[in-house]
Structure formats: structure tokens, C-alpha cells
Structure 1
Amino acid sequence: MSLSLEGKRGLILGIANRHSIAYGCAKVLAELGAELCITYLNEKAKPYVQPLADELGAKMLLPCDVSIEGELEAVFHEMEKHWGNIDFAVHSIAWSPLDELHGRLVDSSGDGFCKAMDISCHSFVRMANQSQRLMPEGGTLLTMSYEGAEKVVDHYNLMGPIKAALDSCARYLASELGEQQIRVHSISPGPMPTRAASGIDHFDELMDDATSKSPLKRLGTPDEVGSLAAFLISDLAKTQTGNRIFVDAGRHLIG
């Protein structure tokens, strides 16, 4: 059986530019025949995302700032109106106030922590809530984690506990939505030179460390994350749910 996504339709959240992990996912899914709804953060971001959506043949390009009440729900309303049902949704969003991300967790503010948690983690729960009514025959939900969720990574700070919560949410959602044949996974890429990652202090050092310590002596790429996403969305992975899967050339194996 070959890997094909012909006839599958779904959502990609989190494309900022051509280097985004979300774009790597969208590119591979489109190449395998999936129809895509792509979102952009705001009007400032749209000129960077629009050409990519056109290149990928996206059926819909919609605004979605998950911190603005109703915007995520409006995206699902549009997909329901145009498609009726969907087969997958990919969540590749993370955000923290920069001063909180660069500071110690112990010094984080309640407001900063809660906003980072809402955008980076609870938006995935809200996405799952909206997805379930558009997946009457089942589907796949994916989100992006990181090694810093399970061990201390220098300079990852506030985002470590938030990614740990995101991983836990994926497991609980997999359990809750399993009866509806909705499968849920978190994917854990290694460090990649994306716009979001550029906000982490000493990120070049983190990438050098990952390259030198990974068994394969390299980094993963957004396209390789996309390849895993495609497999998980495909009918080849119908019995898999609740997993956290690394795309990091084995870096997580080495202390």
C-alpha cells in the first residue's frame, strides 16, 4: 500500500514563512494529494503566507490569531461551509512574551505564563474541540512538542512546562476522542532554524549541540516533520494514537 492523501482535507495552523515547520508539513501533505486550509496570523503576516498558500494550491487562506476570541472558531465555520468534513488538523503554534522566555521560570509573571499557555497549549485543545464535529468518520490531530518538555534544556525556560502540558493534553485528547476514531499525536522535532526558534537565547549553540550529539550527526528538517505527519494522517497509521514521536536524528537519546 503506497502513501497517499488523495481525498483528505484539513487545516494547517502556524505557517509564518517558508522555513516554518508548519510549511514543511503543508508542502508534503499537498504533494501527497491533500487539500489544505492554511491560516495566517494577521494582515502584517499575510504577504508572507499568501504566496506559499498559492504555491501549495491551498483551497482556503484565512486569518487566525488564536488569542483573539472567535477567530479559530471562524476558521472551522468556513471549512464546514466549504467542505463539510475534514480529516486532519495540524497545530504548529508557540508563543511567549520575549522577556518571560529569556528569564527564569521562577521569575515568570502570572499574566505572561497564562498567555503563553493559552496560545501555545490550550489553543490545541480548542482546535480539538472544533475538529470533532467535522470528523464524524474519524481523523488525525497533530501538535508540535520539543525535548524541553521532558528534560531541562538551557534557555528554553518558560516553554518547557508549557510543552510538557501540551504533550499531556495530546495524551488525554487521544483517550477522550478515541471512540470517535480521532487519533491524536504530538511530534517532537529537534531544533530547527525557524522564526519561532530564533527567539530562544543562544539558539545557534543549541543547534550545534544537537548536531554533534545526535547519533545521525545532523538536524531534522521541516519537510521530514511533514513526512511523519503525512504517515500519521494516512490510513497506514489507523491504529496509532497518543504517541509522542521524535524527528531529531536521535538527539533525545543522548544526555
Structure 2
Amino acid sequence: MKILEGKRGLVVGIANEQSIAAGCAKAFSLAGAKLAITYINEKSKAYVEPVATEVNAEMLLPLDVQDDSQLDAVFQRIASTWGELDFILHSIAYCPKDDLHGRVTDCSRIGFSQAMDISCHSFIRMARKAEPLMKNGGCLLTVSYYGAEKVVKHYNIMGPVKAALESSVRYLAAELGPAGIRVNALSPGPLQTRAASGIAFFDELINDARARAPKRQLVTIEDVGNIATGLVSDAAKSVTGNITFVDAGYHVLA
């Protein structure tokens, strides 16, 4: 039995076939889910469309989360097409390059605000839009990183931003739980994705994770997708407010 048979989900954050969100979308599809997928602009659409085709997405919609009208349009389309929504995967993060590569101490007000808005508050906005569509409960799932919990060299301002995202997961879980809506975050180990390539000295982070993780290996987008599938399924109906590590055990190390 496919554990997501009959479920309808929105996947936000696919940049290309190597994205964490792409690995999740493929796993959701294999588990039987119907999907709506977004792309940020026309340039990115060429990289997202092959994934949408592979997973037989029923909707492929533009979404720049800084544009409220586009966010409204996505949820209006879901409401008119499906009438309900069972889960969301939010896998987006952004910080201006100068702020990302600089010290937290030196982060600009504009850079911090933009990083928080795109990486964290967009998840809250999606939760608000999804709530009336999750008539029989559902699951909101976002993507964090170990740098939210511990200082990771070169992760810089994204550490505090992801910490805010993880705290938001807990508060949303408490608020939406009575409606049967679960809220969780994935915390994958470092992966060679386009988003990760913006982090300075990322190869060092990759090599350290491979050498020190208890399993002595890196995780894959397929690994993350499999865990994401379980979390949005009814098998995890009592799991909410969690940060789930998918990192070959790296997070247990001092």
C-alpha cells in the first residue's frame, strides 16, 4: 500500500533535480501523493519543470514568496482544483551574499530582514494560508540545519535565522495541533545542492561530516525524501513540533 495514496501536497523550493525538495517530491510521488509544485521565476522554471513532469505534478505554479499576490494565487488555485490540502514541504532559504559570508556581528538590517522573511516568515504565511484547506488535519514540514542549534563555521547569519524557523515550528505545532495540523522540521546533513554552494568553504563542511558522522557517510536527497514521506503520512499522526535529524548521526557529536 502506498502510504500517501489520496494525499495532496504542495512542494515549495525545488531549484533543480539535486534539490532536497526534489528528492522529497519524488518520494512523495512514489508513495502515491498528488502534488502541486512551484518555481520562483521563468528562468528557474526550466530546471523545475523536469522534476514536475517526473512526479506527474498536477499543478506547476509560479511563486516568489516575497510577492503576496503570488502566494495568494497558489493557494487559490489549490482551493479551486483540490478543495483541500494534506501537506506542505517548505524548503527555501535565502540571504544576500555579503551578509551570508560576513560575521553575524556585521549583518546588515536589510540582509537580516530579507533572510528572515524568505527563510522563516514565509513558512508562517504558508501555514496561515494552508490552515483552512487542511479540513481533516495535515502536516506542515520545513527544512532546517544543525547550524540552528550549534555554531557551525561559515554558516553565519543563517544559524540565527534557522533557529527562528525551528522555534516557529514549535509554536505553530502548539497553535495548530487542536485542528489536527502537525508541524515539523527536517534537519539534513550537508548536501551538495545549489543553495548550499553559496556557503563559504562548503567543501570543508562536507568533508568534516563525511569523516566524523557515526556512519562515516553523507546523506542523500533520497534519504531525506524517505523521512519526509513518513512525517507527512498518517504513520506519523502523533509526531508534531519535532526537529528530525537526517545526518548519519552527526548531530550526536560534541
The answer, yes or no, to whether TM exceeds 0.5 is yes
What pairs with 1:35-184 in structure 2 (closer than 5 Å)? 35-184=34-183
**1:29 — aligned with what?**
28
- Superposed structure 1 runs of 4+ greater than 6 Å apart: none
Q: Secondary structure at the match of 1:142?
A: strand
- Structure 1 contact 3–236 (Cα < 8 Å) conserved: no
- Structure 2's unaligned 5+ residue stretches are none
How far did 1:68 drift? 1.6
How far did 1:189 drift? 0.3
Q: Which amino acid aligns with 2:31?
A: L
Alpha-carbon distance between aligned partners in 2 of 1:76 and 1:67, rounded to the nearest angstrom: 15
**2:13 — aligned with what?**
14
Question: Can you list the C-alpha shifts for 1:208-241, whole angstroms capped at 9, x where unaligned?
Answer: 0001110000111111111111111111111111
Q: Secondary structure at the match of 1:45?
A: helix
Percent identical among aligned pairs is 58
Alpha-carbon distance between aligned partners in 2 of 1:52 and 1:24, rounded to the nearest angstrom: 9
Alpha-carbon distance between aligned partners in 2 of 1:171 and 1:72, rounded to the nearest angstrom: 23
How far did 1:73 drift? 1.8
Question: Can you list the C-alpha shifts for 1:185-222, whole angstroms capped at 9, x where unaligned?
Answer: 01100100000000000001100000111000011111
- Structure 1 contact 3–234 (Cα < 8 Å) conserved: no
Q: Which amino acid aligns with 1:51?
A: P
Alpha-carbon distance between aligned partners in 1 of 2:66 and 2:96, rounded to the nearest angstrom: 13
- Structure 2 contact 2–32 (Cα < 8 Å) conserved: no
**2:249 — aligned with what?**
250
- Structure 1's unaligned 5+ residue stretches are none
Alpha-carbon distance between aligned partners in 1 of 2:65 and 2:87, rounded to the nearest angstrom: 18
Q: Which amino acid aligns with 2:75?
A: F
- Structure 2 contact 88–140 (Cα < 8 Å) conserved: yes
Q: Secondary structure at the match of 1:19?
A: coil
Give aligned pairs, total. Answer: 254
How far did 1:3 drift? 5.3
Q: Secondary structure at the match of 1:95?
A: coil
Alpha-carbon distance between aligned partners in 2 of 1:135 and 1:68, rounded to the nearest angstrom: 23
Change (3 A) 1:241 1:115: same
How far did 1:69 drift? 2.4
Alpha-carbon distance between aligned partners in 2 of 1:238 and 1:4, rounded to the nearest angstrom: 12
- Structure 2 contact 212–250 (Cα < 8 Å) conserved: yes
**2:221 — aligned with what?**
222
Please tell me the root mean square deviation across aligned C-alpha atoms, in Å: 0.8
Q: Secondary structure at the match of 1:22?
A: helix
Normalising by the residue count of structure 2, what TM-score does the alignment of the two structures yield? 0.99
- Structure 1 contact 191–210 (Cα < 8 Å) conserved: yes
Q: Which amino acid aligns with 1:19?
A: Q
- Structure 1 contact 11–37 (Cα < 8 Å) conserved: yes
Alpha-carbon distance between aligned partners in 1 of 2:25 and 2:54, rounded to the nearest angstrom: 11
Normalising by the residue count of structure 1, what TM-score does the alignment of the two structures yield? 0.98
- Structure 1 contact 210–251 (Cα < 8 Å) conserved: yes
Alpha-carbon distance between aligned partners in 2 of 1:150 and 1:240, rounded to the nearest angstrom: 20
Alpha-carbon distance between aligned partners in 2 of 1:206 and 1:228, rounded to the nearest angstrom: 23
Question: Can you list the C-alpha shifts for 1:94-142, whole angstroms capped at 9, x where unaligned?
Answer: 0000110000010011011001100000000001000101001100000
